[in-house]
């Protein structure tokens, strides 16, 4: 009989036995470079709770992968740009704009 590994589920803090099929799913996901597929268990749980059909499950799994890749591409592009300081609209200081002073040549007072 094949010995199965015990894996911790951080979300639930419990242990379960990893089946050979689960190990193969993780291996295939790694080989195909679709890392989110190796975390399919969380989506299976959500699918069971919400009554998803197979197509919805596949859609959600693929959507998760696409979103993760987009986030990683954005991080990579920002890093490759070598900006001295990263600024976003979230950190834009709007109060500075309120202190602008007009010089009388068509500029507006704030």
21 in Cβ contact with 4 (< 8 Å): no
Contacts of 65 (CB under 8 A, 6+ apart): 34, 35, 36, 37
Q: Give the pLDDT confidence of 22-62 residue by residue, as tens digits.
A: 899 989 999 999 988 888 999 999 999 999 999 999 999 99
User: What does pTM read for this prediction?
Assistant: 0.60
Q: Is 16 helix (H, G, I), strand (E, B) or coil?
A: strand
Res 15: pLDDT: 61
Q: Give the pLDDT confidence of 82-100 residue by residue, as tens digits.
A: 888 877 888 887 776 655 6
Contacts of 28 (CB under 8 A, 6+ apart): 37
Residue ranges of domains in the chain: 6-85
Confidence of residue 10 (pLDDT cuts 50, 70, 90): low
């Amino acid at each position: 009989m094949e010995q199965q590994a015990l894996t911790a589920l951080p979300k639930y803090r419990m242990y379960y036995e990893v089946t050979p099929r689960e190990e193969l799913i993780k291996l295939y996901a790694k080989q195909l470079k679709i890392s989110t597929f190796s975390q399919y268990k969380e989506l299976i749980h959500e699918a069971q709770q919400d009554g998803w059909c197979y197509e919805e499950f596949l859609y959600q799994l693929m959507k998760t992968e696409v979103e993760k890749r987009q986030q990683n591409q954005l991080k990579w592009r920002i890093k490759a740009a070598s900006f001295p300081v990263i600024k976003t609209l979230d950190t834009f200081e709007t109060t500075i704009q309120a202190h602008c002073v007009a010089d009388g040549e068509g500029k507006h007072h704030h």
